[in-house]
Structure 1
């Protein structure tokens, strides 16, 4: 059933597959004619003592061999092309679906599992589609055709061979069913191993710094051994088919030789028929072996296709293609959180009873301890998750009523632990948008990144994976430049200045104030100096708002904010009006 569902991907390739099948059928039938011709030469032509007919029919055997060889090569190449193109479409659809999955769904699948489904599972499907076209036609024709040809030669000997086939078929069916279940466990173990490898690759510096290499090697050894054991169990189970099949068929061959010898001795059959029968028996044996390999691959494909379809069939929860409103209310706040409550799946509440409004162009600062819900507010605002209760509105409209592309287009955002891609500086700032080099350079200048970009060699300078060839401050300035480049309606900076010195941070805030005054700004920060000029500041603790107001109001009324402020900027009497003044630098 699962493989049948994936068969829809083969529909566009039916003409090419049909042509390949016809070529494969022709080549296989020609191949079956060779033993029959051999029998005719030995039994009917050689006794005549004439060389010409033997050479003529021998030449025909050679022609048949060449036709079978050319036909099989051509059909196999076509099968490989169909498998390649079909799998490419599956990967494309899988990647597209993963791109639109909600964060809740991504958390459920896990990143390592999605990577495995995208790579090893689709590779198994690629192998299966190719094998079905190569062996799915050839092996049954060789099996059935071989039996039919042997019937024309000697029906009695054919019955001995046919008697073994039901036993072989039953064993193959039982073992293949068990193999499919075992291969599903193998894929899950592969997910676990990939997760450990990914964690080690990402956290290699931390592992080395804390001298935890031995601990991580042992952790990898455990998951690797578990995967190896599951693979061994699955392969041992599937390996039962070959020796059992070989034993039964070889016993059949022995029986054919014994019975055939008796029949030749009694004059009821001829030597040429026995020789042809042995060749055909070998062909049938190889066909059964091929069918066994196909069943083994189908067992793996059943497990892999179920995992792929699990992703493809997952409903897209948060993606809307059309807006659900016809007009925007007048005089509505630009952003409004109304009794917003949110909790992660199988987790505790991240935020509770969140209420605030922002007018267009205002700045909201958010501060609080780690895990207090700061980044959760951003994810909920951009609708990576739907809120558990309450509503979030932009221009008076619930964000769930916006088309997702329209909603996300309003934002320029720098996430905590954001990503730079292996590409040029130009493409990392542009990120697929239709922006000119002048706009990119202007955004870089305002993000305080132009200086080091010119030092690196301009917009064409390369960026390594995750920006490994840049410092922390350079990465953050590039990310801010990316957010500013599109002149966003809402600018979100989630802890985007933690690697900047105070002077650069202050200059950046001044550029944003001067050139993005119409944009509503939400700044998540650990530094009071980064948000102290905001019209509103939220102080969060364990997902609840414990303080809201301006900097001066919170310094007077919120103990937690005052504690943070005094620990970072000292005396409250210091003036904070100079964006890059000496006091800011000294702080």
Structure 2
């Protein structure tokens, strides 16, 4: 886990090395200074030798300046390495997510991925910054101060050798108890982010149903749960400092008592006692820093486990060996296709799907809610892979194509029309980043979007809010259709993508498709019969299976489901609602 995450350090390895190097210089100087101060007391003051005091004093000032410079440089390199590491780690997680299939993404909630990219990375950044300094400083300070103390007076310094193992056991027990609680905390952070995301993205619905108070209560409940978990963990972790300080203060008392006795008996000097007390404080500081590092590691360990889950997830949709680099045409064949979201042949969402669509045909798909219409078309560009059977495009299995080539040849306008922050033109160029203004305008005219875009104050340079919320549902759908057309695809899939436009505009879009892109295979999922009445053939799905395929005229004569839908809409059902 740690090795995988540390790969993100990359170009910041130098800074990660220099930080502990300068920390080492700083520690060595800090440990030597109390020893030299003992010389001033025992050799300078005791003998009233001002020349010796001045000489050692100047050396101490130089050492203090060098220690300060080393500390500043160590802090600078530690900050640079930790911030750079976090930047790379965040980028690596995001790049990994971009390789995920829909099935991979389904394994993680959106809020969970956001927490990993933000809170978890920040926790690791803070721990890493402390690590590159403290993991060197604390052990060195502890060892050097202990060695110097033993060198001054072995018997008195043995007190430290008794206390340090005791404190190590206490710290281990604290980690053992606190880590599981922090794991729960970050799981609840995912849930809290989910509540915030849902509320902010659905704020219009919240306000229209006057649900502000209920949403506040929901948020407060989640926030209180996190507070209680953190409080529970902190109650355990907070024992660090009191235990350490009690132990060290006890040690100082014993050192002072024993040292005073030895000074009276002239087996220890006053300077040596002062140095031992200083070393006791240095050991105290190193142990306090150790305890803080342990707390950060407890938190960061949980974050590392969560991030490793993402980094170690292998995309289940990858290119095979020698993938095909060109899609010849828009012919589509489904042969004995079955699909399960949980990859279980006994739990199929689609089963026994067989049909063939000739290149350039227009095919409508209808069926009730939850019958598998969207799932079926998502198998074509390999957003999901089939569980059973084969999907072929231009006579070749979709798994044999290069994923980028395949998806560039299939343009999908999904049920949820997603637009991104930026101008309308920037959103349209997702379909073709090199599209000219003339190509953009032509695509928008086909999608019946040009006129309403030009009626906006800034036309194609109109800035969209997040999600395109400053456009109506029908306007967003038309922009998304235009964006798909700019890909110049072999296959165009509209997944209920004209549900928010009026019937006249819908008819105009279909007319433009017939006249302007006759060679593109068009698959239209619709609830309105009117939207697919001029299709070459219509596929009717029911409970994940095809119950009928035929032209509108044939189905009108032979299929009861089609007849019922047609008659209900003609009488003012769904047809009039649109």
Q: Say if 1:24 and 1:137, in contact at 8 Å, map to a contact too.
A: yes
SS of match in other structure, 1:268: coil
Q: Which residue is equivalent to 2:339?
A: 342
1:25 equivalenced with 2:28 (yes/no): no
Q: Which residue is equivalent to 1:306?
A: 305
Q: Which residue is equivalent to 2:538?
A: 537
Q: Distance in 2 between matches of 1:413 and 1:96?
A: 22
Q: Distance in 1 between matches of 2:173 and 2:4?
A: 23
CA gap 1:483/1:333 in 2 versus in 1, 3 angstroms:
closer
Q: Distance in 1 between matches of 2:173 and 2:509?
A: 68
Range 433-442 or range 210-219, more displaced = 210-219
Range 283-292 or range 541-550, more displaced = 541-550
Q: Distance in 2 between matches of 1:326 and 1:286?
A: 63
1:88 equivalenced with 2:87 (yes/no): yes
CA-CA distance at 1:207 after TM superposition: 2.9
Query: Which aligned pairs between 1:20-169 and structure 2 lie closer than 5 A?
Result: 20-169=19-168
Q: Distance in 1 between matches of 2:577 and 2:11?
A: 68
SS of match in other structure, 1:349: coil
Q: Say if 2:441 and 2:450, in contact at 8 Å, map to a contact too.
A: yes
Structure 2 unaligned runs (5+)? none
Q: Distance in 2 between matches of 1:219 and 1:51?
A: 73
Q: Deviations over 1:288-346 (max 9, x none)?
A: 110111111112222111111111111111121654469989xx981011122222228
Q: Distance in 1 between matches of 2:196 and 2:312?
A: 28
SS of match in other structure, 1:561: helix
Query: Which aligned pairs between 1:221-370 and structure 2 lie closer than 5 A?
Result: 221-320=220-319, 322-324=321-323, 334-345=331-342, 348-370=347-369
Q: Distance in 2 between matches of 1:122 and 1:265?
A: 57
CA-CA distance at 1:47 after TM superposition: 2.2
Structure 1 unaligned runs (5+)? 572-583
Q: Which residue is equivalent to 2:517?
A: 516
SS of match in other structure, 2:500: coil
CA gap 1:12/1:389 in 2 versus in 1, 3 angstroms:
same
Q: Which residue is equivalent to 2:569?
A: 568
Q: Which residue is equivalent to 2:462?
A: 461
Q: Say if 1:30 and 1:64, in contact at 8 Å, map to a contact too.
A: yes
Q: Distance in 1 between matches of 2:273 and 2:436?
A: 80
Q: Which residue is equivalent to 1:581?
A: none
CA-CA distance at 1:17 after TM superposition: 2.7
Q: Distance in 1 between matches of 2:16 and 2:549?
A: 67
Q: Deviations over 1:198-244 (max 9, x none)?
A: 22222333233333334333333333233222222222222222221
TM value normalised by structure 2? 0.94
Q: Which residue is equivalent to 1:577?
A: none
User: How many residues end up aligned between the 2 structures?
Assistant: 572
Q: Distance in 1 between matches of 2:338 and 2:17?
A: 57
Q: Say if 2:417 and 2:476, in contact at 8 Å, map to a contact too.
A: no
Q: Which residue is equivalent to 1:447?
A: 447
Q: Say if 1:3 and 1:302, in contact at 8 Å, map to a contact too.
A: no
CA gap 1:326/1:519 in 2 versus in 1, 3 angstroms:
closer
SS of match in other structure, 1:548: strand
Q: Which residue is equivalent to 1:424?
A: 423
SS of match in other structure, 1:355: strand
CA gap 1:86/1:505 in 2 versus in 1, 3 angstroms:
same
SS of match in other structure, 1:428: helix
Q: Deviations over 1:377-397 (max 9, x none)?
A: 121222111122221110111
Query: Which aligned pairs between 1:7-18 and structure 2 lie closer than 5 A?
Result: 7-10=6-9, 12-18=11-17
Q: Which residue is equivalent to 2:554?
A: 553
TM value normalised by structure 1? 0.92
Q: Distance in 1 between matches of 2:168 and 2:325?
A: 64
SS of match in other structure, 2:54: helix
SS of match in other structure, 1:341: strand
Q: Distance in 2 between matches of 1:232 and 1:222?
A: 15
1:178 equivalenced with 2:177 (yes/no): yes
CA-CA distance at 1:484 after TM superposition: 0.6
Q: Say if 1:538 and 1:549, in contact at 8 Å, map to a contact too.
A: yes
CA-CA distance at 1:520 after TM superposition: 0.3
CA gap 1:136/1:546 in 2 versus in 1, 3 angstroms:
same
SS of match in other structure, 2:390: strand
Q: Distance in 1 between matches of 2:8 and 2:99?
A: 21
Q: Distance in 1 between matches of 2:327 and 2:27?
A: 69
SS of match in other structure, 1:390: strand
Q: Distance in 2 between matches of 1:585 and 1:49?
A: 107
CA-CA distance at 1:259 after TM superposition: 1.1
Range 448-457 or range 413-422, more displaced = 448-457
SS of match in other structure, 1:337: strand
Q: Distance in 2 between matches of 1:455 and 1:218?
A: 42
Q: Distance in 2 between matches of 1:502 and 1:473?
A: 11
Q: Say if 2:330 and 2:490, in contact at 8 Å, map to a contact too.
A: no
Q: Which residue is equivalent to 1:487?
A: 488
Q: Distance in 2 between matches of 1:534 and 1:241?
A: 73
CA-CA distance at 1:516 after TM superposition: 1.0
Q: Distance in 1 between matches of 2:325 and 2:121?
A: 43
CA gap 1:322/1:441 in 2 versus in 1, 3 angstroms:
farther
Q: Distance in 2 between matches of 1:75 and 1:133?
A: 9
Q: Say if 2:104 and 2:315, in contact at 8 Å, map to a contact too.
A: no
SS of match in other structure, 2:416: coil
SS of match in other structure, 1:80: helix
Q: Distance in 2 between matches of 1:246 and 1:95?
A: 43
SS of match in other structure, 2:455: helix
Q: Distance in 2 between matches of 1:519 and 1:446?
A: 14
CA-CA distance at 1:502 after TM superposition: 1.4
State the Cα RMSD in Å. 2.3
CA gap 1:35/1:475 in 2 versus in 1, 3 angstroms:
same
Q: Distance in 1 between matches of 2:465 and 2:570?
A: 36
CA-CA distance at 1:12 after TM superposition: 4.5
Q: Say if 1:322 and 1:403, in contact at 8 Å, map to a contact too.
A: no
